[in-house]
Amino acid sequence: MPLERCLQRYGRDVVSMSGKSICHVNAASLPAELRGLARDSVSLLTLDLKDNSVSLGTFRNDIGRLLKAGDLMVFNDSRMISASFSAYFREVGSFGRINLGTNRNRDLFLAEPRPRSLNPRLKPGYQFTIAGSAALFTVMARHSKFPRYWWVQGRKDVDRLLSEGMHAVPIRYGYIPFQIPIDYYSSLFSSVPGSVEYPCASRPFTQEIIEHLRSKGVRIATLTLHCNLGSLEPQEFEIAGGLIEEYYNIPGKTLDIIESTRQKGGRIIAAGTTVTRAIESAFAEHGRVKPSGWTDIFIKPGYELKVVDGLITGIHDAESSHLSMVGAFSGTRIAGYVQEVACEKGLLQHEFGDSMMVM
């Protein structure tokens, strides 16, 4: 559908990047495999930045056509771990859950109490127990930028629980109707444990697709960014001016491939917002590369992309940081138009939904 025709039909302000969407994109509540489909059978919505045209196909049939010899696909090899525990909050007198973050600071770890109604009832010094541990965990202080998250004392005990791999389940939100085994929260490249949220953009890539891409001259590389807690609302990261900090590491081999691809005029295509954030953080200063560290970079309209030329991501809420990143590639108006097309076509949202390519 041409951009101008869509704008004529739906108005100039289809979706506000900071306001509410005029429609709701259907949420995919289960992985494709549990819906009787193959991983690579999801839909692929493509935004061509050369003429702002949008097309809709399937991932399996179209991804090989869209990538060409000399392109570099970069994937996140972080693997999601189970990081949600049943908990009892003593002073509040209530059961709930503790979702663990990736941050550690001396004897402290970052966590989010659930349900959200627990949060305003907590105070520094309050304690809770976690299923599978006899230890008492003490709430110490709120995160300085994101007060829904707390620093909690008891790092050694919680690290032990994580290493044992018992009692914890994957962090799950309300649109997923029941607990899904952790194996579904993976991709072909998932190999380095550490994410507590699912880096899902590479999910539709199969071995067959990767072999086809390599055969036509597309280069493949990996990096690591461990996804931190990710339930923030738009106003939270807008007020903070950044996202929750996350650790990334880009191997020297990947940095070399990125540089050689740029020198030869090839495109750098990121499989996911996590990959984009890691690469852009590493090359944030011209002439200086920071191959690893913590980043809270918020890539949104107005941000000048330094290295990444294209993005493969999922279908997300109109107010999400993911769509803001699409706006950094295309501009706010076109990002809103793409969201409207996704809505009109009934594409599926979230980690088990359909895919989008911006190039």
- Mean pLDDT for the stretch of residues 326-345: 92
Query: What SS3 class is residue 144?
Result: coil
pLDDT of residue 319: 72
Looking at the predicted structure, is the pLDDT value of residue 21 above 50?
no
Q: Can you name the CATH fold of 3-80+180-358?
A: QueA-like (3.40.1780)
pLDDT of residue 15: 36
Q: How far is CA 218 from the centre of its chain?
A: 24
pLDDT of residue 232: 84
Q: What one-character DSSP code corresponds to residue 117?
A: G
How far apart are the two ends of the chain, measured CA to CA in Å? 17
- Mean pLDDT for the stretch of residues 277-304: 93
Looking at the predicted structure, is the pLDDT value of residue 19 above 60?
no
pLDDT band at 236 (very low <50, low <70, confident <90, very high): confident
CA angle 86, 316, 347 (to 5 degrees): 115
**pLDDT tens digits, 109-151:** 999 999 999 999 999 999 999 999 999 999 999 999 999 999 9
The average confidence (pLDDT) of the chain is 90
The DSSP secondary structure of 259-310, one letter per residue, reads HHHHHTT--EEEESHHHHHHHHHHTSBTTB---EEEE-----TT---SS--E
Looking at the predicted structure, is the pLDDT value of residue 243 above 80?
yes
Looking at the predicted structure, is the pLDDT value of residue 277 above 60?
yes
pLDDT of residue 235: 82
pLDDT band at 234 (very low <50, low <70, confident <90, very high): confident
pLDDT of residue 25: 54
pLDDT of residue 165: 85
Looking at the predicted structure, is the pLDDT value of residue 4 above 60?
no
User: Percentage of the chain with pLDDT > 70?
Assistant: 92
Question: Tokens 């770890």 map to which residue?
Answer: 109
Enumerate the domain spans of the chain: 3-80+180-358, 84-164
pLDDT band at 26 (very low <50, low <70, confident <90, very high): low
Distances (CA, A) of 190 to 61, 253, 283: 23, 18, 24
Q: Is 65 left (phi over 0), alpha (psi -120 to 50) or beta?
A: alpha
pLDDT band at 318 (very low <50, low <70, confident <90, very high): confident
CATH of 84-164 among 3.40.50, 2.40.10, 3.30.70, 1.10.3470: 2.40.10
Q: How far is CA 185 from the centre of its chain?
A: 12
| Residue type present at position 24 | H
- Mean pLDDT for the stretch of residues 197-212: 98
Mean pLDDT: which of 23-32, 85-94, 160-169 is highest? 85-94
pLDDT band at 237 (very low <50, low <70, confident <90, very high): confident
User: Percentage of the chain with pLDDT > 90?
Assistant: 80
**pLDDT tens digits, 39-78:** 999 999 999 999 999 999 999 999 999 999 999 999 999 9
pLDDT of residue 1: 41
- Cβ neighbours of residue 18 under 8 Å, at least 6 residues apart? 234, 238, 319
Q: What one-character DSSP code corresponds to residue 198?
A: -
pLDDT band at 22 (very low <50, low <70, confident <90, very high): very low
- Mean pLDDT for the stretch of residues 232-257: 91
Element housing 208 (H / E): helix 207-215
